[in-house]
Amino acid sequence: MALVIGLGTIDIRHVSVLASAQQKAETTEVKIDNFSFGPGTLTVPAGTTVTWINRDDIPHTVVSTEGVFKSKVLDTDEKFSFTFSKAGTYPYFCSIHPKMTGKVIVQ
């Protein structure tokens, strides 16, 4: 299908496919509060963006144990986001408080 505009045409088949793909992308939030990640284990489909937000009064980080992602030091209300494109299990921790751990499972 093509749409005629002025002197040119636009193939709108590709536009609708792109819009559908963008609508399927998900965003999920993990709260950092009281020296813990909540939820501690999160299961998401591939393509999901996970956003961690620090709700504690002290700084924290979000660091993959396998080096896949690493945030800067997050002060209160600061955020860090990462998009998980591949299936797998992604354990992470706070480098300032190593007993704080979490895991993202991507299907």
In a domain, 50, yes or no: yes
Q: Please tell me the distance from the alpha carbon of residue 61 to that of residue 63, in angstroms, as a whole number.
A: 6
Total number of domains constituting the chain: 1
Which residue segment(s) compose the domain that 77 sits in?
Answer: 26-106
In a domain, 70, yes or no: yes
| Residues contacting residue 43 through CB under 8 Å, at least 6 positions apart | 104, 105, 106, 107
Whether pLDDT at 25 is above 90: no
The answer to whether the beta carbons of residues 25 and 86 sit under 8 Å apart is no
In a domain, 77, yes or no: yes
Q: What is the mean pLDDT of residues 64-74?
A: 98
pTM of the model: 0.77
In a domain, 34, yes or no: yes
73: domain CATH number is 2.60.40.420
In a domain, 9, yes or no: no
Backbone angles phi, psi at 35, to 5 degrees: 60, 40
In a domain, 6, yes or no: no
Q: Which range, of 12-16, 40-44, 76-80, 87-91, averages the lowest pLDDT? A: 12-16
